[in-house]
Amino acid sequence: MASELENSIRSAAAKVAAYVADAAVMEVTTSYVVVGPTAGAETARPAAKTIIRLDGDCEATVPMREGPGGILEVDRGLFEIHQANVATATEYRARVLGALIGLLQRR
C-alpha cells in the first residue's frame, strides 16, 4: 500500500516532467459534433474546434450556418457553447497541474 502511494507520487512526478517537456507542443482541442436524441443514430457532424499552442498559436474552426438571404453567419449559440467548453477544459488542465504540483510538496 505504501509502495502504491510512492508509485503514484513517482508517476505524478514523471507526468509533470513529461508535461513540461511537451509544453511547447501542447494542444487543447475541443471538437463538437451534433447528434440526434438517440446517440449514434445520426452521423456526427463537426461543429467547432479550437487548438491552442503554448507558443501563442491558436487555431479555431468556427461553426457557421446559412442566414437570411443565404448569407453565411456564425452560429453564435453553438460557438458560445464551444467557448464555454474550451474554458472548462483549460481550467481542468490547470487544476490537474496544480494538484500534481501539490503531490510533489511533502509539507
Partner 1 sequence: MNAVFTVIEPLPAAIAPPGPWRAQVVGSSFSLGDQPDVIWQAHLPADPAAAQAALRAAAAQLEAQEAALATVTQRLQRVASGAISFSSALPPAEQALLSMLPAIQPEGASFGLGDTLQEWWQAAQEQIAALSAQAREVLGGYATVETVQSGRLIGRTRINWHGDARSLLIAGIDPAHAALHQQTLALALRSRAGLLRLIGLVGRGAAIAATMVAAPAGAIMVLPAVWQFVQEVLAEVRQPMV
Side-chain-side CA neighbours of residue 82 (13 Å): 24
Q: What is the sign of the dihedral through the CA atoms of 102, 29, 85 and 32?
A: negative
* Near partner 1 in 27-86, by CB under 8 A: 27-37, 39, 42, 44, 77, 80-81, 84-85
Q: Any bridge partners for residue 50, and if so which? A: 30, 60
| Minimum separation from the CB atom of position 94 to partner 1 (A) | 9
Total residues at the site for partner 1 (CB under 8 A)?
46
Identity of residue 28? V
| Minimum separation from the CB atom of position 68 to partner 1 (A) | 19
Nearer to partner 1, 1 or 71 (CB): 1
CB 31 within 8 A of CB 86: no
9 binds partner 1 (CB under 8 A): yes
* Closest C-alpha among 32, 34, 36, 31 to residue 44: 34
By the criterion CB under 8 A, which residues form the site for partner 1?
A: 1-2, 4-5, 7-9, 11-12, 15, 26-37, 39, 42, 44, 77, 80-81, 84-85, 88-93, 95-96, 98-100, 102-103, 105-107
